[in-house]
Structure 1
């Protein structure tokens, strides 16, 4: 029989910490919800009554936070839906390369260069380029949910 000291245990994350349950009837427009395991912003919400012994149903329409793809779901109003933990983080912009990758610095002076401004967002790219060329203090607003991140905006930084 093996000693307890010789045994190793692998850890596996359940993913549960990335979201929390919330009753369908408590969800509101412009809040976040997981639809088909994707973090979505609720753009339309409607409640309908069903037959004599049925439950009220909530019809939810949301857009994916990262792809803008539309998702729909129907849930009994008494059931729970998972809501993602969503955070907005502002990073100081140091530089941007030709491919649109930003060099960012957080408030603890750590740097990263893995965030890319989408080619589809031409106006945001131009804003970053202009502000960097004029050497203006610039912040990148990053939205984070379910271990995914995306640049959603440009802000003026403090001098």
Structure 2
């Protein structure tokens, strides 16, 4: 279980939300005032963590929405294989492969420590320590 349900009004810019089954980082939230017969609506604009796609969704502020549970971890680089890197988690010692982001291609080296996030069965490199 890597997600939980919260109310839309509790979301903040910089936090994460699930839109179209993709965990996304919230870039902007704008709310409209309630009308004569309706409730206030929130427009959430976010960018996907793994695919960098812009997404937006409009929901009533008292509606429920899913947010991903994101786990930040550290790992050691075992091998660099083209556009992918093989990592070993420093807590569980499990090894896995993940793609290297463009901004980290020149900074990453074998034997160095990196921070990565894992959510909904996917991993992403965030920074080199």
* Structures share fold, TM-score greater than 0.5: yes
1:100 CA displacement: 3.0
Count of paired positions: 129
The equivalent of 1:56 in structure 2 is 40
Greater C-alpha radius of gyration: 1
The equivalent of 1:96 in structure 2 is 80
The equivalent of 1:27 in structure 2 is 11
The equivalent of 1:139 in structure 2 is 113
TM-score for the superposition, normalised by structure 1: 0.74
Q: Provide the secondary structure at the position in 1 that maps to 2:108.
A: helix
Matched, 1:37 2:21: yes
RMSD of aligned C-alpha atoms?
Answer: 1.7
Alpha-carbon distance change, 80 to 145 in structure 1, aligned in 2, over 3 angstroms: same
Of structures 1 and 2, the one scoring higher in RCO (CA 8 A, sep 6+) is 2
User: Which has the larger helix fraction?
Assistant: 1
Unpaired segments ≥5 residues, structure 2: none
User: Which has the larger strand fraction?
Assistant: 2
Matched, 1:106 2:89: yes
TM-score for the superposition, normalised by structure 2: 0.89
CA contact (8 A) 1:84 1:145 kept: yes
Matched, 1:126 2:106: yes
Supply the distance in 1 between the matched residues of 2:117 and 2:16 (Cα, whole angstroms). 12
Matched, 1:154 2:122: no
Unpaired segments ≥5 residues, structure 1: 1-16
1:76 CA displacement: 0.3
1:113 CA displacement: 4.3
